[in-house]
Amino acid sequence: MASDWHTALDEIVRDLEPRLIELRRHLHAHPEPSGEELQTSLRLYQMLGDEGLAVRMGPEGCGVLVDEPRDAKGARVAFRGDIDALLIQDEKLVSYHSTRAGVMHACGHDAHATCAYGAAVALRRLVQQNLAPWPLTWRAILQPAEETASGARQMVAAGAMDRVERIFALHVEPKLPVGTVGVRSGPMTANCDLLKIAIHGRGGHGARPHESRDPIAAAATLISTLYQYVPRATDSLEAVVVSIGRVCGGSNPNVIPEHVELEGTVRTLESSVRLSTIDHIQQLARGVEEITGAKIEVQFSGSIPAVFNDADATETLRTAAAEVVGPQHCHLIARPSMGSEDFACYLEHAPGAMFRLGTAGDLSAITPLHTSRFDVDEKALTIGARVLARAVVAACEPKDGNRVERTRTPLP
């Protein structure tokens, strides 16, 4: 019976629910920022190892990889949960609030790690109970440093994508009610390039700016030039957003400093727009140099490509989500987000897709991502684990032989 494994997975995950809530609360209470996820990784490593899963640590003790079966030579289906927290002070009044000053799971990565853990344990038990419909060969990737856009590349370098033919992931969505899931084929997040600008002037007395080359005036001109002329040079139907998030220069009210540093991001959906915007920013900087006499160096680094969800992988997620939450609660996401996600780095190696997991318990009191009161409705944990586990089983289905026909409604 084809449906046996579905029921079995559901029962396994239902039994796991108290443990998933406990794990998520533990991670929430003990957050670690990007690149410092040593205790988080160790805990996941031990808990997954205790289940008899073949675990290995990620680079420098951050992150965990799980391979089932351990030495399988064939292609694997992977799924990823990120594990890092943010430098934000937790201001929630709940028993599991962060115990670390200034560090908080404000992006739901504690929930992602928990869902990935739940999916891994459920898949293992399904095989142990001889209820897997076909051989399951998979890898779970518990990834550090998503927020600093470096963890995915580190995990890939550690072999996370070796022999992977499909990969799935999720992100919590506080704007969607718990019990709903969002999917989207095609672009899901934006390309994001970090922008660093060094402006070198000549310092002087605040009373006599004509004797200086004022880098603060140059910075002000450059910021307003970027904000005005980048959009003016881009087709209004294309998405591009430049934001300067850090301005650093000077230390006295009456002294014109020597240098100013600016940092920001450039986000685009199309790679042609990305390239032309990068060129254009360099050109605008040359123009501001000309006007102000300051030297301006522009550097782009840390580029994260857009997450592009593969149509077939999205269909696998949509089917899984529709089975778990009901087709009426599985939404098509209308537009991509201008946020970025380093899940895109895995998609450079194999096609895959990510879904949005609704986590709002009360839509009238939404706590947005990256804010000090962010929280998730924990009923979402088993939903996320079930969707991930089902997608992995479905994607492991042998492509030759007697493929089971399923009814499919095409995505618009």
Which residues in this chain contact Ni ion in the complex, by CB under 5 A? 107
Question: Smallest gap, in angstroms, from Cβ of residue 108 to Ni ion?
Answer: 6
Query: For Ni ion, which is the closer residue by CB, 85 or 395?
Result: 85
Answer whether 356's CB lies under 8 Å from 176's CB. yes
- For residue 335, the minimal CB distance to Ni ion (Å) is 18
Considering beta carbons, is residue 107 or 119 the nearer one to Ni ion?
Answer: 107
CB of 143 to Ni ion, least distance (A): 11
Min. distance of Cβ 198 from Ni ion in angstroms?
30
* Closest distance of CB 146 from Ni ion, Å: 6
**What is the C-alpha to C-alpha distance for residues 55 and 63, in angstroms, rounded to an integer?**
10
Q: Closest CB to Ni ion among 107 and 396?
A: 107
Return the structure tokens found at 99: 């115990």
Q: What minimum distance in Å lies between the beta carbon of 267 and Ni ion?
A: 15
Task: Give the number of residues written for the chain.
Answer: 412
DSSP 8-state secondary structure symbol assigned to residue 370: T
Residue (120 or 170) nearer to Ni ion, CB: 170
- How many Cα neighbours within 13 Å face the side chain of 256? 22
| C-alpha–C-alpha distance, residues 95 and 134, integer Å | 42
> Which residue is nearest to Ni ion, using beta carbons?
107
Structure letter (DSSP) for residue 93: -
Contact 231, 240 (CB under 8 A): yes
**Closest distance to Ni ion from the beta carbon of 370 (Å):** 8
Question: CB of residue 145 vs Ni ion: minimum separation in angstroms?
Answer: 11
User: DSSP secondary-structure letter at 169?
Assistant: E
Which of 77, 107 has the CB closer to Ni ion? 107
3-state DSSP helix/strand/coil % of the chain, to nearest 5: 40, 25, 35
Q: Indicate the angle between helix axes 311-325 and 379-395, nearest 10 degrees.
A: 130
Closer residue to Ni ion in complex, CB, 82/310: 82
Q: Which is nearer to Ni ion, 298 or 385 (CB)?
A: 385
Nearer to Ni ion, 55 or 140 (CB): 140
CA distances from 214 to 175, 202, 218, 248, 290 (A): 45, 6, 6, 14, 13
Query: Residue 107 or 388: which CB sits closer to Ni ion?
Result: 107
Whole-number Å distance between alpha carbons of 346 and 146? 12
Q: Are 151 and 84 in contact (CB under 8 A)?
A: yes
Task: Match 């939450």 to its residue by tokens.
Answer: 325
- Measured from the CB atom, the residue of 173 and 323 that comes closer to Ni ion is 173
Q: Cβ of residue 107: shortest distance to Ni ion, in angstroms? A: 3
The three-class DSSP label of residue 352 is: strand
Cβ 192 to Ni ion shortest distance, Å = 13
How far, in Å, CA of 311 to CA of 297, rounded? 41
Q: Are strands 64-68 and 54-57 parallel, antiparallel or unpaired?
A: antiparallel
Residue 244: beta bridge partners? Answer: 264
Angle at 217 between CA 212 and CA 220, to 5 degrees: 165
